Amino acid sequence: MIEVRGLTKCYGDRTVVDDLSFRVEPGAVTGFLGPNGSGKTTTARMILGLTDPDTGVAMVGSRRYRELAHPLREIGALIDPGGVNPGRTAIEHLRWLAAANRLSRRRGAEVLGLVGLDAVAGRKVGGFSLGMRQRLGIAAALIGDPPTLVFDEPINGLDPEGIRWIRGFMQDLAAEGRTVFVSSHLMSEMALTATELIVIGQGRLIAAESVAAFTERAESSVRVRSPQLDVLAAALAEQGASLWRDGDVLEVVGVSIEHVGEVALRLGVLLYELSPQRASLEEAFMRLTADVCDHVAGQAA
């Protein structure tokens, strides 16, 4: 279990993570979603004790990372496909990790088997492809058989076969009852892998809900085309709808299509089009994160 409370981190006058709070529960793959530069990696680093938060705490189980006596037995992390001395062999890399947390020497070979690298255990990491390095990073994360796993952008640089493998692998880990926390900037990927979502934008929490709930939210948009959009937009905004306007087209989220029709009739607004939109998850994600970026206010006004 991972719990983050009021996490805030500034670099200079830039707030990278802004009062972030969420919980990641065991037994599910939880996607950690946000555009590039939204603070995902900084959050992951704070959970892992690599960066100190300005305020707030990140807990692994019931402790902060730095208080863990044998951290690799509590939480495994893939943060950087590098992080390995290229002159060392795969098994040598895992041996020093095992020694660091008093794990059995055999663990190295075991986890290499789990990720399908047993055949190259004795090869130098310098000659590994990016996909093989990712697998080695995952082996390293698993070395202490931890109940919690953090993967930062694990599919970066993987081929389609590797992506499919890692998807299934993460789901299997969650099915064993582990907490699996995966960051990504690709909504489509998370829709396939995760069942829970934590969405951030500009370091702030946008959504923490199941993928199903998020999808539902995404599908309830209404497209309106009208020569009198200003009047209609103002009325809908008053009722708390979120609006995106592009020329004479208005996208409405948060009110039903019937309601938009009723409002238009009451105001006597001529409509050329009133249609339900099944936005993709990707679009929903873009909208939600764009919302935070304050692009909307200017367009809808």
Partner 1 sequence: MINSLAMEWQKLRPLHKTARTVLLAIALAITVSALVSLAMASNGPHMSLVDRRAFDSVATSLQGVNAAVLAIAAFGVLCVTGEYATGMIKVTFLAQPSRLRVLAAKLTTHAAIAAVAAAGACLAAFAVGQALLATAGLSVGWDNARLPTALGGGVVYLMLICIWGVALGATLRSSSSAIIWLASLLVVAPVVVQILPRHLVEVVGRWLPSQIGQQAIASHPSAHSFSAWSGLAVLGAYVGLTLLAGAWRMTHTDP
Contact status: 72 vs partner 1 (CB under 8 A): yes
Please identify, using beta-carbon distances, which residue of 77 and 281 lies nearer to partner 1. Answer: 77
Under the binding rule (CB under 8 A), the answer on residue 63 touching partner 1 is: no
Residues 123-182 that bind partner 1 (CB under 8 A): 140
Q: Nearest distance from residue 193's CB to partner 1, in Å?
A: 23
The angle at the Cα of 79, spanning 75 to 210, to the nearest 5 degrees, equals 70
Contact between 24 and 2 under an 8 Å Cβ cutoff? The reply is yes
**What gap in Å lies between CA 144 and CA 147, rounded to an integer?**
9
Residue pair 66/52 in contact (Cβ under 8 Å)? The answer is no
# chain residues binding partner 1, by CB under 8 A? 33
Does 19 contact partner 1 by CB under 8 A?
Answer: no
Q: Decide: is 77 part of the binding site for partner 1 (CB under 8 A).
A: yes
Contact with partner 1 (CB under 8 A) among 82, 168, 177, 227: 82
Among 34, 35, 53, 71, binds partner 1 (CB under 8 A): 71
Tell which one of 6, 27, 37, 99 touches partner 1 (CB under 8 A): 99
Contact between 117 and partner 1 per CB under 8 A: no
95 lies in the binding site for partner 1 (CB under 8 A): yes
3-state SS class at 71? helix
Q: Which residue from 51, 171, 215, 242 is in contact with partner 1, where contact means CB under 8 A? A: 51
Q: What is d(CA 182, CA 195) in angstroms, rounded to the nearest whole number?
A: 11
185 belongs to the binding site for partner 1 (CB under 8 A) = no
Tokens representing 90 are: 């795969």
What is the 8-class DSSP label of residue 66?
G
Q: How far separated are the first and last CA of the chain, in Å rounded?
A: 43
Laid out side by side, the sheet with 148-152 consists of: 75-78, 148-152, 179-184, 29-33, 196-201, 204-210
Instruction: Summarize as ranges the residues that interact with partner 1 (CB under 8 A).
Output: 45, 48-52, 65-66, 68, 70-72, 77, 79-80, 82-89, 92, 95-102, 140
